[in-house]
Amino acid sequence: MTPSLRVVALLLPDCTQLDLTGPAQVFARLPGARWVTSVCTGSFLLAAAGLLDGRRATTHWASLPLLAELGAVPVAERVVVDGNRVTGAGVTSGIDFAFELAARAVGEDVARRLQLLLEYDPQPPFDAGSPAAADPATISAIRATVRDARLPRVRAAATRRDAALAEPEPRAAR
């Protein structure tokens, strides 16, 4: 009997269908596995909850340095695996992330078959999908815009988290 697969998706403001579609297509064809995962800026949710403390993690390239504010170790890779924590960079890396998990959960052969079944053979129309290929002025402008928009929220989350961690543990009921 094949174990069932349970996928829990936490939907957040500004979450688009693209954030979920790629990974869901892969996971829908797998037996069960246990992982703590996120794609794109979902890494901030895990980090704010303390689930990435001292762990290597990734997120969208323009937000990557901000992960350190919440105790994670930022890594500029499309998919980062640290124990049972798996994080994906930008939204499109979610498909790569799903195949990485598929290979770990049920084997590389199955993951390769799924890749073919889904005809995953990306050929973007432009070579501008990463900071390694984009023009430096555009990179700087996007980083500044993202930092200015996200940094106050990240710092507020870090403050709330630090305050919660400083509170004494509740005493057990007697």
Residue 15 bears catalytic tag: no
Cα 21 to chain centroid distance, Å, stands at 14
Nearest to 45 by CA among 2, 8, 5: 8
Rounded to whole angstroms, what are the CA distances from 58 to 40, 53, 101, 118, 126?
8, 13, 15, 25, 23
- Out of 30, 40, 101, 102, which one is annotated catalytic? 40
Task: Find out whether 80 and 96 touch, Cβ atoms under 8 Å.
Answer: no
Cα 99 to chain centroid distance, Å, stands at 14
For the annotated catalytic residues, the residue numbers are 40
